[in-house]
Amino acid sequence: MKQLLFAIVLLFFHSFTFAQVPYGDLENYKREWVALQGNAGPLVGIRSFTAKGSKYYLTVDPLTLETRIVDSKLLKVHSKDSIQVNKSLNGTVYASCFSIVRKTENNLQDAGLNFRLPKESGINLTIDLCPSHKPLDKDIFEDLLSAFKGLDSTLPLAVSVSGKWLLNHPDDLAWLKSLDRKGVKITWINHTYDHVFNKKPLVSNFLLSPGTDLNYEILANEKLMLRNGLVPSVFFRCPGLVSDRAVIEKLLSYGLIAVGSDAWLAKGQQAHNGSIVLIHGNGNEELGVRDFIRLLQTESGAIKRKHWTLYSLSEGLEHYPN
Ligand SMILES: [Zn+2]
């Protein structure tokens, strides 16, 4: 009997520790660029950290761009030499994303992935959560769920989250995470920690504001995301979509792919098939949200016929010209 009790207690503790987010108290968070071998194939380690005495990597699958946190004990380090790591990526989707991003890296606005191939019938939805005192605009998600109700499809979309929004909206975050159970699959995009904004022209605004520490903006927000149970994706959204070559190159050195938009709805840009649509879900962009809901209504027939859908940002990149 004693033994049985012991076994039950052990089982309880095992499931308890398993269920906990292992990186809630992460330390030593830093940039890496390591070629790794995982159980299912080659991976790239872009960050490492320690938690509860174990070392973890934030990994990217170079073929699917999926990011995951993996215990270093489950990985074999192939190379830490950046030239070798880059070589190992030849011919992968990840490497072609680097080329695509470099084509527009001198843009002041909208550098990076900023259009998709029009063969897709539907859109890539990105929702930005810049710092705001207003509550999350839940209508976006509720209307999406009702438009796709009964179609038994998963709904991939991307949410770009700033640190200052995360800190002020714990309930909204919990609500967003709970949508997973309803089939909403969120790609979490780093939208910087501070999301600096001033009244100056774009050349000295957002990430181009004098004194901006991009290393901090990237890493502090990723740490906050991980502590809140969000796995940062390989994508990055520059505040205001503003950047210069130095910013884009720095992001690439962190393994991050900037994502622009060809359809910022509140600015009057129309969504086409394959568009990367941008709306703000932080309560500050009624116009964009209204335009998006109108778009859903316009496409409602096509949605029901399964001729219009949402795409994940990682899908179809192998067909992108680079
Ligand atoms: Zn923003």
235 CA → ligand 1 middle, Å: 14
239 CA → ligand 1 middle, Å: 4
d(CA 53, CA 68): 19
Predicted pLDDT of residue 23: 81
- Phi then psi for residue 67, to 5 deg, are -105, 145
d(CA 1, CA 22): 32
241 CA → ligand 1 middle, Å: 8
Predicted pLDDT of residue 11: 45
Question: How much is the pTM?
Answer: 0.92
216 CA → ligand 1 middle, Å: 17
- List the pLDDT tens digit at each of the 322 positions of the chain: 555 554 544 444 433 333 346 588 899 999 999 999 998 899 999 999 999 899 999 999 999 999 999 999 999 999 999 999 999 999 999 999 999 999 999 999 999 998 776 666 899 999 999 999 999 999 999 999 999 999 977 999 999 999 999 999 999 999 999 999 999 999 999 999 999 999 999 999 999 999 999 999 999 999 999 999 999 999 999 999 999 999 999 999 999 999 999 999 999 999 999 999 999 999 999 999 999 999 999 999 999 999 999 999 998 888 777 6
Predicted pLDDT of residue 9: 45
For residue 25, with 0-12 CB atoms within 10 Å meaning exposed, 13-18 middle and 19 or more buried, which class applies? Answer: exposed
CB 314 within 8 A of CB 66: yes
Angle between helices 93-103 and 245-253 (to 10 degrees): 170
CB 22 within 8 A of CB 52: yes
Break the chain down into helix, strand, coil percent, rounded to 5. 40, 25, 35
d(CA 274, CA 315): 11
257 CA → ligand 1 middle, Å: 16
Q: Looking at domain 93-319, does it have CATH number 3.20.20.370? A: yes
220 CA → ligand 1 middle, Å: 16
132 CA → ligand 1 middle, Å: 10
Predicted pLDDT of residue 18: 35
Find the DSSP H helices in the chain: 2-19, 82-88, 93-103, 139-147, 163-168, 170-178, 214-227, 245-253, 286-298, 300-304
Burial per residue of 184-223, b for 16 or more beta-carbon CB atoms within 10 angstroms, e otherwise: bebbbbbbbbbbbeeeeeeeebbbbbeebebeebbbbbbb
Domain boundaries, the chain: 21-84, 93-319
Strands 41-51 and 27-38: antiparallel
For residue 181, with 0-12 CB atoms within 10 Å meaning exposed, 13-18 middle and 19 or more buried, which class applies? Answer: exposed
Q: Which two tokens stand for residue 239?
A: 């505040």
Question: Which residues have CB under 8 Å from 101's CB, separation 6+?
Answer: 111, 112, 113, 248, 252, 257, 258
Predicted pLDDT of residue 5: 52
CB 65 within 8 A of CB 317: yes
Instruction: Give the Å distances, CA to CA, from 34 to 23, 31, 84.
Output: 20, 10, 9
For residue 121, with 0-12 CB atoms within 10 Å meaning exposed, 13-18 middle and 19 or more buried, which class applies? Answer: middle
Predicted pLDDT of residue 12: 43
